[in-house]
Amino acid sequence: MAKELKELTKRSVNYSEWYNQLVVKADLAEQSDVRGCMVIKPYGYAIWEKIQRVLDDKFKETGVVNAYFPLLIPKSFLSREAEHVEGFAKECAVVTHYRLKTNESHDGVVVDPAAKLEEELIIRPTSETIIWNTYRNWIKSYRDLPVLCNQWCNVMRWEMRTRLFLRTSEFLWQEGHTAHATREEAEERARLMLRVYADVVENYLAVPVVQGVKSETERFAGALDTYTIEAMMQDGKALQSGTSHFLGQNFGRAFDVQFLNRENRPEYAWATSWGVSTRLMGALIMTHSDDNGLVLPPALAPTQVVVIPIWKTDEQLAAINAKAQGVVDGLRARGLSVKYDNDGNKRPGFKFADYELKGVPVRLVMGARDLENGTVEVMRRDTLEKVTVGLDGIEAYVEGLLKDIQRNIFEKARAFRDAHVYECDDYEDFKRRVKDGGFFLCHWDGSAETEARIKEETQATIRCVPFGYEQTPGIDMVSGRPAKCRVIIARAY
RNA sequence: CGGGGUAUAGCGCAGUUGGUAGCGUUCCUGGUUUGGGACCAGGCGGUCGCGUGUUCGAGUCACGCUGCCCCGACCA
């Protein structure tokens, strides 16, 4: 069954449209008929599962365990932490009834007014409240700490405008929630999880990120500090790809989670929370893909190698099948995920284009010519380069090639990012250039007024105070007041 | 919730001064093809978003409603 495959919009013509078409045509996801929601198709979900597995293993290495908490949160829980409720109240879906009944004309159903809930339930926009309400019963002594739980789940935030993977009303994520006996331990945990995110995103998704800390206004609702990883997309816009929050004792206090410390004195537990979502899929797609379609990092590609035979007669096909089987087995023996596609309904040219669209890192082609010469044609997706190599030692060759692709796409993305990071000291210059994308390193006086003015006049926001950047004091380019450090300012998704 | 669009086959679209439904593509069947998105022939598929009105007659005109898209506000 052939699929309709039209040419993609060029990245340079309309980046948003290109992205949207790519997600749909590469079979990753599609818009659902349900408002603001997304259907993740099997191919997209296979990639997400791989990301999940990598993250899960890394979490466990740091002592985190998985658990699950309810989807529905009593309304009163949400309002316990004042800043938290203010941050999320505007985008909550609310369950008000628990029953439907047949309508008067017996051709449909209506909400049964008699089934109104005494207290409304909120569909979780995030789970701090319900988890900390639970932790109250778990934590009595410093010996119970730390508690290091993660949950894989869906959350709902009633967004006004949605985009596949980047912003949908419902999305999949993991949220980790930890409780600690000391402030220092909690702060270190928040920073540790940020490092875990940066590791996974850079070394598996091959997406370079800037680690940093958010300004007060960009902080998570209820946090004392929000750490972030920021990636740059190919249009120069920033994508917040993961966050880790130091929550202080705010939730411990709000949910009365107290423990007796070594001195036998009651103390509120210290908290962190941290999450990454299916938005990572968006980062993956936008960072590497080109006008031919997706480019997947070998570490996450559901199919790493596709082998395509080209034949004219059944005898030829049989001969190629036999020869190719050896290659496929050899590659699989090395743990690679290989697809052999001898579907006679599709022509080779169609398959080439289709696997490129889907981002398969390496393609092997075997025809009558190769059969005679004992060779195979190898194409790498990242550069689209083709070479013909002998079958002898093909497994090691392909394995090396996959490693090289993984490294190359990361280096390419990092080079692009670095070429679009600018130090900027002049606000007029900034205003002219920021709309074309890029990360602008600018001195900031730390005031919310400056931040608000930049946002209003340029639609750019302070992404973070970057770590690992040599800071020197200077003058805020907007207010002219002294500034302790430079921050990254950019337009963002 | 403000401002602007749009609604006709699964998808993308045309449809003139009102005259009874069309193109491309997908899909199905058969054949020829197969080293970069094949070709030929045949076929399936539509209460023209919903409702009311004007008219001998409405996809087309008027009014109302609804959905969706874009631009704002909000945002992992």
CA-nearest of A190, A196, A183, A281 to A244 is: A190
Residues A66-85 have pLDDT tens digits of: 999 999 999 999 989 988 88
Out of A404, A438, A469, a domain closes at A404
For strand B, which nucleotides have at least one atom less than 7 Å from a protein CB? 1, 10, 25-28, 33-38, 67-76
**One domain, residues A400 and A426:** no
CA of A377 to C1' of B38 (A): 22
A253 is in which domain, residue-wise?
Answer: 15-72+137-288
d(CA A334, CA A337) in angstroms, rounded, equals 9
Burial A240-258 (b: 16+ CB within 10 A, else e): bbbbbbbbbbbbbbbbebb
- The whole-number pLDDT of residue A5 equals 54
Please give the protein residue whose CA is closest to the C1' of the nucleotide B25. Answer: A4
Nucleotide closest to residue A376 (CA–C1'): B35
CA of A358 to C1' of B38 (A): 22
Residues A8-66 have pLDDT tens digits of: 777 877 788 788 888 888 999 888 877 778 889 999 999 999 999 999 999 999 999 99
- The whole-number pLDDT of residue A293 equals 92
Q: Could you give phi then psi for residue A465, rounded to 5 degrees?
A: -90, 115
Out of A359, A378, A404, a domain closes at A404
Q: DSSP of A284-316, one letter per residue? A: HHHHH-BTTB----TTT-S-SEEEEE--SSHHH
- The whole-number pLDDT of residue A379 equals 98
Looking at the domain assignment, is residue A176 inside a domain? Answer: yes
**One domain, residues A207 and A273:** yes
Confidence of residue A2 (pLDDT cuts 50, 70, 90): very low
Q: Could you give phi then psi for residue A81, rounded to 5 degrees?
A: -105, 115
Total structural domains in chain A? 3
Can you give the CATH number for the domain in which A220 is found? 3.30.930.10
CA of A107 to C1' of B46 (A): 26
Instruction: Say if residues A129 and A80 touch (Cβ distance below 8 Å).
Output: yes
Residues A258-273 have pLDDT tens digits of: 999 999 999 999 999 9
- The reported pTM is 0.95
Instruction: Say if residues A12 and A234 touch (Cβ distance below 8 Å).
Output: no
Can you give the CATH number for the domain in which A376 is found? 3.40.50.800
Confidence of residue A3 (pLDDT cuts 50, 70, 90): very low
Indicate the range of A104-108, A155-159, A263-267 predicted with least confidence: A104-108
CA of A8 to C1' of B14 (A): 24
**One domain, residues A167 and A265:** yes
- The whole-number pLDDT of residue A338 equals 98
- The whole-number pLDDT of residue A309 equals 97
Does ipTM exceed 0.90? no
Nucleotide closest to residue A239 (CA–C1'): B76
Can you give the CATH number for the domain in which A457 is found? 3.30.110.30
